[in-house]
Amino acid sequence: MNCQWAQALTRYDCRPVKGTDGGACLEIGTPFSLPDGSAINLYLSEVGEHVRISDNADTIFQLGGMGLDLWTSTKLARVREVAGESKLSVGDDGEIFMMTRAEYAAAGFAVAVTGLLNVARWAAEKLDAHEPVVDLAAEVQPYIVARDPNAIFELKPHVLGASRTNHVFDFRHGDDLIDVITASPQATGGVMRKVSDVQNGPFVGEASPLIIVDDRMDKRMRAENEIAILGAVTRAMPLSSLLAVHH
């Protein structure tokens, strides 16, 4: 297990470090943060045939520094509940972690990111702080990579449309040009114009558009409507279907 291996699974920056137990591990920097702006990092280490994905107890200790004491039994139980929704465990020392087989490490990493983001959102609510702004595409990126870590992956690919307009998608993954959008008529209208131009342009045949619509929380009905509209011109799917594969 080395940074080349880890970056193929995560597409994030990596550096070798020593874990809290003194053993070798890999620190993966993510673009996400806690309510005070401190970075969310994950640490990967080998445990037999498994990979341990951990925050090295950074999250709970950092939240404590913000004034949120999570060491009471009630609050720690609530953290375990929030983390457990993403199959993460919380140790008695405050470490938030999961174990996964090496072949499923990309999917495990994606789920771990979601779990820590959920803890960060819960903490922001308790602290009455602004919820960290998370770019929707960035949040979904680990799940895109986990579909096939060996596939071609490109951030912000530029594609020429029939109108000779240069369009930018969130990702290229394998044969898919992917945009991740909110469930709104404005987002749907914009992406439909882009997709129609691209599908009639010189790039057609190399890769085809796939639109992922955020249907979480109370957006399911709206997302279903937008997906039905998008389906007239391109492939579209709800975000929950992508997340469900790995949860």
Cβ atoms 24, 45 nearer than 8 A: yes
Q: What is the pLDDT of residue 245?
A: 64
22 conformational bin, left if phi > 0, alpha if psi -120 to 50, beta if neither? left
Alpha-carbon distance of 210 to 169, in angstroms, equals 10
Cβ atoms 34, 96 nearer than 8 A: no
What are the pLDDT digits (tens) for 170-199? 999 999 999 999 999 999 999 999 999 998
What are the pLDDT digits (tens) for 41-90? 999 999 988 999 999 999 999 999 999 888 888 889 999 999 999 999 99
Please list, in sequence order, all residues whose beta carbon lies within 8 angstroms of the beta carbon of residue 198, skipping any fewer than 6 positions away. 159, 161, 162, 167, 177, 204, 209
As a CATH number, domain 148-244 is: 3.40.1350.10
Domain extent listing, the chain: 3-126, 148-244
Residue recorded with tokens 């779990």: 115
pLDDT grade for 167, boundaries at 50, 70 and 90: very high
